Homo-oligomer: A and B are copies of this chain.
Amino acid sequence: MKVTIWNENRHENKNPAVRSVYPEGIHGAIQQFLSKSGVDADTATLDEPEHGLSQQTLDQTDVLVWWGHIAHDEVKEEVVERVYQRVLDGMGLIVLHSGHFSKIFKKLMGTSCDLKWREADEKERLWVVDPSHPIASGIGEYIELPQEEMYGEHFDIPAPDELVFVSWFEGGEVFRSGCTYKRGKGKVFYFRPGHETYPTYHNADVQKVILNAVQWAKPAGSNKPVYGNAKPLEAIGANQN
């Protein structure tokens, strides 16, 4: 299995506070813990040619992890389309935190993906509401993050195929924080936490969830479906009574 971690990588370059939390970038932090678990993980960033997501790279990617925030608009339509086609073809996609507003997530969801938010260093608890789900494997009753950005309902997404986590926030809100979807042959997982100023991707439980999600999202399923004009499998008219 080959994972590609895509990161906008702008906050890290502009903001020393972010760089101090993620010296190798958010993509680097994720790559590190996935690699430690034996996952073959590469990175790609916005400012590389083709945003680091050439057709060849995507064709060799089983699961793509996506973090973006302030530069969603800079992602080229042709790259979005390329990623989209790969998802329909079976590539897994893990969308993190502010990636809810990325072009690719909105295109796959068919909704605005809007939400409430607040930066107030508040406590978050991600409660497991589906204890049977492999993405929650090894997690206790909840994941606690002492300080995070708040995301609150209403989150304008289609009803998830599976709801794995629901967040509680100190300031009074809740959020559907772990949501699975299928699009074509591809699996999609949205996972809420990970504001750039907090060490969320250094949290062992958050790392476990991303590792589980990557395993869950890897390509599987039936042979590639065939579309278009089809010959009948049975004689038509033979049955007319």
With beta carbons under 8 angstroms apart, the residue of B110, B163, B184, B229 that contacts A118 is: B229
- Number of chain A interface residues as a range: 35 or more
Binding site of A, secondary structure by majority: helix, strand, loop or mixed? loop
Q: Are B132 and A185 in contact (CB under 8 A)?
A: yes
**1/0 per position for A98-116, CB-CB distance to B under 8 A?**
0000000001111110111
Q: Given A133-B220, A182-B132, decide whether A117 and B239 contact each other with a Cβ distance below 8 A.
A: no
Q: How far is the CA of A232 from the CA of B176 in the complex (A)?
A: 18
A155 at interface, CB cutoff 8 A: yes
A156 interface residue per 8 A CB criterion: yes
Contact mask for chain A residues 132-171; partner B; CB cutoff 8 A; 1 contact, 0 none: 1110111111000000001011111011011100111111
Q: Is A228 an interface residue (CB 8 A)?
A: yes
A128 CB-CB contact with B under 8 Å: yes
Alpha-carbon distance between A227 and B116 when the two chains are bound, in angstroms: 5
Residue from the list B123, B132, B166, B174 in contact with A221, Cβ < 8 A: B132
A13, CB-defined interface residue at 8 Å: no
29 pairs, A vs B, C-beta closer than 8 Å: A111-B183, A116-B229, A117-B229, A117-B230, A120-B236, A121-B237, A131-B154, A131-B221, A131-B224, A131-B225, A132-B184, A132-B221, A136-B222, A137-B222, A139-B223, A140-B222, A141-B153, A150-B230, A153-B225, A154-B225, A156-B184, A156-B227, A158-B183, A159-B163, A163-B163, A168-B168, A171-B232, A173-B233, A239-B239
CB distance from A149 to the nearest CB of B (A): 11
**For A237, what are the chain B residues with a Cβ–Cβ distance below 8 Å?**
121-122, 170
Which residues of the partner chain B approach A230 to less than 8 Å between Cβ atoms? 116-118, 150, 152, 173
